[in-house]
Chain A
Amino acid sequence: MEWYRLTGSILSLMGALFLFLGALGVWRMPDVYNRMQTGTKSTTLGSILTLFGLGVYHPQWMGQMLILMLFIAVTNPISSHALARAAHHIGIPLTKKSVVDDLVEEEEPRLESMAEMEER
């Protein structure tokens, strides 16, 4: 038993746990925004850990794994940001338990200016 195999497999086990927790949050959380948070943040960390663990397990594959991790780290925030903005735009309400909504202050003036543009 080589040490790096054990290290890599334990790393990817931790990553898989984070993936599972992210999916559990998607199932259990009360509203869209909370689901989005667990479903993207936690799975980003989980997939990066899993891929890094697999790269440690199989050192010849580390290059591809690093590229894959880079892709995930770049693309995942973009998609979650676009989705959150869209959900806020179409007016999906926040759950009763949440306390702040900072995007409202930013969105309101922009919405008004858009309405003006459409009138013109």
Chain B
Amino acid sequence: MVRKTIALALMSGLAFILAFILGDWSPMERLSGVAYDYVTRGAADLGAMNLVTAIVVTYRGLDTLGEVTVLFLAASGVAVLLRRKRDEAAATVKIKRAASEIVTTGASLLSPFIVMFGAYIFLNGHLSPGGGFQGGAVIASAVLLLFLAHPDYKLRHNVLNIIESFSGFTYVLVGLLGLFLAGGFLDNRFLPLGTYGTILSAGAIPLIYTLIGLKVGTELAGILENMKGRA
């Protein structure tokens, strides 16, 4: 087996490199550099309790913009590749087994709660763990639960597209507002910082995270629906 030998050689090389890196690594004793700055100034500067949120939304906000772009490209790639031609769609209609009554009842009972929980997560992103990405994933999970309970459930595509484009556009617009009214692109301080620790605080961070949450949620739901295929 030549292939296995080559694979083994590659693996041992990688293992050697990893062992070399990990060999003389020791945990940090104290924060330093840019992390020290973020931790000491973050709360007072931006008014966000959750420093990870502060970094994701504001300090490294440009990265988040790029990340949302990658997600959008992946979602539209899935949609384009799995688009069905008319005759093809008619040929592959299959009877799927219906879910039992307990599952359908549970789905219709739980999915509003899950959507509400997702909204709670991205609205509280600056106070507790969570934020746009987690909230969006939770909302997509509610859509997934509906798909599991009703095999031929259909989403409304135009509503989905409108929400997605609107939130993406407004996200860039809020970033530009930060550029003109405050320190830089995606700066959150053009809105008042409010009282530290309440839900309407930290400037524009709740707004930005709500937009990110809507965008991520609709994109993941779109990926799921395209991969499920329209029955």
Name A residues whose Cβ lies closer than 8 Å to a Cβ of B.
74-75, 77-78, 81-82, 85, 89, 114, 117-118
Contacts and interface: CB of A to CB of B under 8 A. Distances in A.
A118 B95 CA distance: 7
Contact of A81 (B95, B97, B100): B100
5 contacts: A74-B106, A75-B110, A77-B102, A78-B103, A78-B106
Contacts of A118: 95
Interface of B: 95, 97, 99-100, 102-103, 106, 109-110
A119 B212 CA distance: 48
A82 B99 contact: yes
A74 B100 contact: no
Contacts of B99: 82
B103 to A, nearest CB: 5
Given A74-B106, A75-B110, A117 B100 contact: no
Nearest to B107: A78
A79 B106 CA distance: 10
Given A114-B97, A118-B95, A81 B110 contact: no
Given A117-B95, A118-B95, A85 B106 contact: no
Sorted nearest first, the 7 A-B pairs with minimum C-beta distance are: A78-B106, A81-B102, A82-B103, A85-B100, A118-B95, A117-B95, A78-B102
Contacts of A75: 106, 110
A82 B110 contact: no
B46 to A, nearest CB: 27
A7 B95 CA distance: 54
Contacts of B109: 74
A82 B100 contact: yes
A117 B95 CA distance: 8
B179 to A, nearest CB: 39
Contacts of B97: 89, 114
Nearest to B106: A78
B106 to A, nearest CB: 4
A74 B110 contact: yes
B185 to A, nearest CB: 37
Nearest to A67: B117
B150 to A, nearest CB: 14
A1 B100 CA distance: 51
